[in-house]
């Protein structure tokens, strides 16, 4: 029946189940051009798998405003049958209370439903803070949903997730919601084979959830989620990671992530990114301009920003990661950490401050595991010619700020034919900013034939790779058994600043 408007006067207009057992929804909508306004729907604590309001078949052009739905298994349930649709539907200023799932989009078996698109959920309150029903999540995407906006909603105290996107994508936006005190994560985006892509999560306040703030999760057989933009959110006081993600084409930018990772059961992070395996890495990820502060718990070693194994093609740009004793939860032990099994991580213009707790020690501000493939800054220094049997030492670099040496390469224009008895040892030395140090950053020996125009790594730098601002690095060669000498040589120096 199209063109129906059913209006009430709030709690004085109640549609209620007479018994705790029922076999049909309180209201079945299979229509178009319908308005429901200022009505109360009470399921009388029925446990049956029905919605207080169900939208089935071909339902479109529906407004649900100012309604109160409570005490049932499902509140509002979008259930288009196979080949059917639910579209052009606005739900606004409604209150959902003590429901197993307040809003369910799609059949429980995702493959059995029709199309759900052009849905707006605006300024609603989803509140289960008393945990009176053993349930699931506030809003659940059981199937792919297109062109949908969730904006300005208050989502509080659900038994599992605030928003659970078991299948989602094709233009879904979560904007300006407050998602707090849920027993699992605030937002959970699960992998699937057809959806979980093209989602924007922006401007939300996500705090005090008992697991993660935001969880984007891939399976062992699928690389998704894909094409997620997570931007400008306030994510704090969640017990596990502030943001944890796997997937491809992920954009994490402009978020404030602080005072998370307070659970003592594990070492959690402000932002944590990992992949499934070498065959299924997370990749094409931008992490930019986030502020990450004081994430941690005293009994664990917690990290502000951790790029873990099986992650490739990452832009890590412009983030500020800090441990600040003037703020609460001063327990973030490590700043930025990049694991060994990572590839092509571009590290530019990040700052990491205050994690070591000892004056002059910056080794915990940035931790680069051996084998990590990092692209930072580079300089090329002309060493020139050195006669056989001659030792030189010359300055090659002055740290513009806190610096971590990644690797250095030596290249000569002519062959250098070394042996076990006649060889050249090359050093990089940290002279400190007063010029008085001689700490070996890295070194290499030329005891075999090194061809002209062939680069020689000076090895993976050790603990002396960290430089204070204005520390000077020198290059030194030491001949043995007469040495080798070199001509028209250069030093290529890779480093990152923070």
Q: 3-state class of 464 per DSSP?
A: helix
- Residue in the structure block whose two tokens are 């446990």: 47
- Residues 6 or more apart whose CB falls under 8 angstroms from that of 299 comprise 264
Q: Domain residues for 492?
A: 378-497
Q: What is the pTM of this model?
A: 0.93
Looking at the DSSP assignment, which residues form a beta bridge with residue 74?
51, 101
Q: 3-state class of 177 per DSSP?
A: coil
Residue that is last in its domain, among 375, 399, 431:
375
Let me know if 221 is exposed, middle or buried by CB neighbors in 10 A (0-12, 13-18, 19+).
Answer: exposed
| 344/478 same-domain check | no
| 132/206 same-domain check | yes
Residue that is last in its domain, among 324, 358, 375:
375
The per-residue pLDDT string of the chain (498 residues; one tens digit each, 9 = 90 and over) reads 678 899 999 888 888 877 666 666 777 767 899 999 999 999 888 777 888 999 988 899 999 999 999 988 889 999 888 888 999 999 999 999 988 899 999 887 655 678 899 999 999 999 875 445 556 799 998 887 899 999 999 999 998 999 998 876 788 999 999 999 999 999 998 766 555 578 999 999 999 999 999 999 866 566 667 788 999 999 999 999 999 999 888 999 999 999 999 999 999 999 999 998 898 899 999 999 999 999 999 999 999 999 999 999 999 999 999 999 999 999 999 999 999 999 999 999 999 999 986 666 899 999 999 999 999 999 999 999 999 999 999 999 999 999 999 999 999 999 999 999 999 999 999 998 766 678 899 999 999 999 999 999 999 898 889 999 999 999 999 999 999 999 999 999 999 999
CATH number at residue 370: 2.160.20.10
Angstrom distance (rounded) from CA 29 to CA 62: 9
Expressed in percent and rounded to 5, the helix, strand and coil fractions of the chain are 0, 50, 45
CATH number at residue 487: 2.60.120
| 472/451 same-domain check | yes
Strands 416-417 and 449-450: antiparallel
Are the C-beta atoms of residues 226 and 196 closer than 8 Å to each other? yes
Q: What is the tally of structural domains in the chain?
A: 2
Q: 3-state class of 112 per DSSP?
A: helix
| 303/389 same-domain check | no
């Amino acid at each position: 029946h199209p063109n129906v408007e059913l209006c009430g006067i709030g709690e004085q207009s109640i549609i209620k189940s007479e018994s705790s057992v029922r076999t049909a929804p309180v209201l079945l909508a299979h229509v178009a051009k319908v308005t429901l306004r200022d009505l109360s729907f009470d399921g009388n604590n029925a446990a049956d798998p029905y919605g207080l309001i169900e939208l089935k078949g071909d339902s479109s052009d529906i407004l649900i405003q100012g309604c109160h739905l409570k005490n049932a298994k499902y509140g509002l349930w979008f259930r288009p049958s196979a080949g059917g649709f639910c579209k052009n539907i606005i739900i606004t200023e409604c209150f959902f209370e003590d429901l197993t799932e307040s809003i369910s989009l799609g059949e429980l078996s995702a493959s059995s439903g029709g199309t759900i698109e052009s849905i707006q959920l605006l300024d609603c309150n989803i509140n289960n803070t008393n945990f009176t029903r053993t349930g699931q999540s506030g809003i659940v995407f059981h199937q792919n949903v297109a062109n949908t906006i969730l904006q300005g909603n208050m989502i509080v105290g659900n038994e599992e997730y605030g928003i659970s996107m078991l299948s989602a994508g094709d233009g879904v936006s979560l904007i300006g919601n407050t998602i707090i005190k849920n027993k699992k994560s605030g937002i959970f985006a699960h992998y699937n084979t057809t959806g979980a892509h093209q989602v924007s999560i922006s401007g939300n306040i996500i705090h005090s959830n008992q697991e993660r703030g935001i969880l984007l999760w891939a399976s062992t057989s699928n690389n998704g989620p894909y094409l997620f933009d997570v931007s400008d959110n306030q994510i704090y006081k969640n017990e596990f990671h502030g943001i944890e993600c796997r997937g491809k084409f992920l954009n994490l930018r402009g978020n404030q992530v602080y005072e998370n990772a307070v659970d003592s059961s594990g070492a959690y992070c402000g932002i944590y990114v990992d992949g499934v395996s070498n065959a299924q890495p997370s990749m094409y990820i931008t992490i930019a301009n986030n502020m990450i502060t004081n994430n941690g718990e005293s009994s664990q070693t917690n990290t502000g920003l951790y790029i873990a194994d099986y992650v490739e093609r990452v832009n890590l740009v412009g983030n500020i990661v800090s441990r600040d004793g003037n703020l609460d939860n001063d327990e973030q032990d490590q700043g930025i950490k990049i694991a060994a099994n990572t590839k092509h991580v571009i590290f530019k213009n990040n700052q990491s401050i205050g994690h070591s707790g000892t004056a002059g020690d910056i080794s915990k501000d940035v931790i680069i595991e051996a084998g990590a493939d990092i692209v930072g800054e580079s300089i090329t220094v002309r060493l020139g010619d050195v006669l056989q049997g001659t030792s030189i030492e010359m300055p090659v670099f002055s740290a513009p700020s806190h610096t971590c040496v990644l690797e250095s390469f030596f290249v000569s224009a002519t062959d250098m034919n070394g042996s076990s008895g006649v060889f050249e040892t090359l050093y990089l030395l940290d002279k400190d900013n007063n010029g008085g140090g001689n700490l070996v950053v890295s070194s290499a020996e030329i005891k075999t034939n090194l061809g002209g125009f062939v680069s020689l790594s000076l090895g993976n730098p050790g603990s002396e790779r960290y430089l204070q601002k204005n520390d000077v690095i020198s290059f030194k060669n030491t001949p043995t058994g007469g040495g080798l000498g070199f001509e028209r040589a250069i030093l290529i120096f890779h480093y990152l600043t923070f």
